[in-house]
Amino acid sequence: MPNDAADSRLTRFRLLIIYGLICIFVLGPAIAAIRDHKIAPADKWFVVSGSIVFIGLVLATLRPGPPSSRQPPWPRLLLILGLGISLFVVGKQSWLTALVVAAAVCGRFTATQRPARVAALASMITGLVVAAQDNLGWGNTVSVILVGPLAAFFAYSAGKRQEALAALQRTRAELARAAVAEERLRIARDLHDLLGHSLSLITLKAQLAGRVVRTDPDRAASEIGDLESVARQSLSDVRAAVAGFRQPDLSGELEAARQLLDAAGISCRISSPEHYVLPQDVDAALAWAVREGTTNVVRHSHATRVSINVSTSLSAATAEISDNGPAATDEPGRPVRLSQAGPVEAASGPARVARPGFGGSGLAGLAERVRSLGGELAAGRIEPHGFLLRVIVPLQQQG
């Protein structure tokens, strides 16, 4: 992604700056030591060659990537720390930077605090010994004792902060992917519910127009006109669903259910309170239940009568869709409830699918809507024959 590429370039740029500063502050004293005739030849050879080896080891250890992405290379860290201490002991305060860099390199590895602690303790003891040998003043003594531990733990803290930022970026990417997946699921669920109802009505209207086109042309023309209206409304609903604005209302779905059942030649009885005010999400959940239940009745039930009952109380709102369709099996059954994973589970007794098609994605999507509001969905055979879909949504948790 573009942001990741930009962050990677910025990290490499910062690392190049650190490389440059290390080379300047470590090689500077080495170059000055070559011209200093007061330094013994053996010490001069050691500080110059040691500085070159020290820089090479440091640059090979400080690579891009999370500080804890690999285990601390203990032999290399101990060699860097030993060289830094040796350069400081031999070269005195001119090579204090080498001690600081060595401590910081050890502190950068955040998989464990041990490298930082070892570097802090070793640099503190070295500073104390050098300060005692050279009779440094109070201010210089405090500096050489504390600068190494501070460098180790500042580097450790910086590494931890880098880890936290990397984890935050990973979490943000996961949340973005989850949001995309959730939006895809919402669109698929809405399209299933919208198109299932609309296409069923379009199919029935087209079949009816085909049957009466010769015997009653005026009726056929009327049905075709209704078909066009339904198709246009379906297109509008699909666009709204994709845009995220589609929320059906209960009164509209009850009327649409009456039209669909009438077109299918199924007698229907619809009852609902004359005056009711429901929260928008509850109203939409019951509307989806009416739409899904009515569509399934037309598609799968072979029923001749359907009853749709909507009721409200102070604590809950309920929608029930029942029919007198023939059972898929002669075995007696009990109401069943959809589980979160999708399969049908019996509330009591062995689990059965009461009618082919009723355990599909439509009821699974409806169950998710109802569960998100703290409600319950039950669907199953009723005695002596028929099918019942019941949705109960609590009102106390709303608002």
Alpha carbons within 13 A on the beta-carbon side of 247: 10
Q: Which of 160, 176, 192 is the last residue of a domain?
A: 176
pLDDT attached to residue 307: 93
Q: Decide if 290 contacts 254 (C-beta within 8 A).
A: yes
Give the model confidence (pLDDT) of 258-277 as tens digits. Answer: 888 887 888 999 999 888 88
pLDDT band at 308 (very low <50, low <70, confident <90, very high): very high
Return the closest-CA partner of residue 98 out of 40, 22, 46, 45.
Answer: 22
What φ, ψ does residue 247 adopt, rounded to 5°? -140, 110
What distance lies between CA 359 and its chain's CA centroid?
A: 28
> How close are the terminal C-alpha atoms of the chain, in Å?
40
Please count the structural domains in the chain.
2
Q: Are residues 152 and 289 in the same domain?
A: no
Q: What percent of the chain has pLDDT over 90?
A: 8
Q: Is residue 184 part of a domain?
A: no
Q: Is residue 189 part of a domain?
A: no
Give the model confidence (pLDDT) of 88-102 as tens digits. Answer: 888 777 778 888 888
pLDDT band at 194 (very low <50, low <70, confident <90, very high): low
Mean pLDDT of 290-300: 85
Alpha carbons within 13 A on the beta-carbon side of 73: 12
Domain, as residue range, for 37: 2-176
Q: Which of 111, 144, 176 is the last residue of a domain?
A: 176
Q: Does position 244 have pLDDT exceeding 60, yes or no?
A: no
Q: How far apart are CA 101 and CA 44, in angstroms?
A: 20
Give the model confidence (pLDDT) of 386-396 as tens digits. Answer: 899 999 999 86
Q: Is residue 311 part of a domain?
A: yes
Residues whose CB is less than 8 angstroms from the CB of residue 104 and which lie 6 or more positions away in sequence, other chains included: 151, 152, 154, 155
Q: Does position 346 have pLDDT exceeding 50, yes or no?
A: no
Q: Are residues 282 and 166 in the same domain?
A: no
Mean pLDDT of 48-54: 83
Q: Are residues 137 and 281 in the same domain?
A: no
Burial 338-350 (b: 16+ CB within 10 A, else e): beeeeebeeeeee
pLDDT attached to residue 389: 93
Q: Is residue 195 part of a domain?
A: no
Q: Is residue 126 part of a domain?
A: yes
Alpha carbons within 13 A on the beta-carbon side of 242: 6
Q: How far apart are CA 113 and CA 147, in angstroms?
A: 18
| Largest separation between any pair of C-alpha atoms in the chain | 121
Q: Which of 152, 176, 200 is the last residue of a domain?
A: 176
Q: Is residue 139 part of a domain?
A: yes
Q: How far apart are CA 312 and CA 293, in angstroms?
A: 19
Q: What is the average pLDDT value for the chain, to the nearest integer?
A: 76
Q: Does position 342 have pLDDT exceeding 50, yes or no?
A: no
pTM over 0.75: no
137-141, 161-165, 325-329: which has the minimum mean pLDDT? 325-329
Q: Does position 336 have pLDDT exceeding 50, yes or no?
A: no
The kind and range of the H/E element at 323 are strand 316-323
Neighbours of 125 (CB within 10 A): 13
Q: Are residues 23 and 153 in the same domain?
A: yes
Q: How far lies 256's CA from each of 110, 249, 250, 261, in Å?
A: 64, 11, 10, 9
Q: Is residue 224 part of a domain?
A: no
Q: How far apart are CA 182 and CA 137, in angstroms?
A: 67
Q: Are residues 162 and 303 in the same domain?
A: no
pLDDT attached to residue 320: 94
pLDDT attached to residue 11: 67
DSSP string covering 37-82, please? Answer: TTS-HHHHHHHHHHHHHHHHHHHHH--SS-TTSS---HHHHHHHHH
Q: Decide if 281 contacts 373 (C-beta within 8 A).
A: yes
pLDDT attached to residue 317: 93
Q: Does position 384 have pLDDT exceeding 50, yes or no?
A: yes
pLDDT attached to residue 390: 93
CATH of residue 310: 3.30.565.10
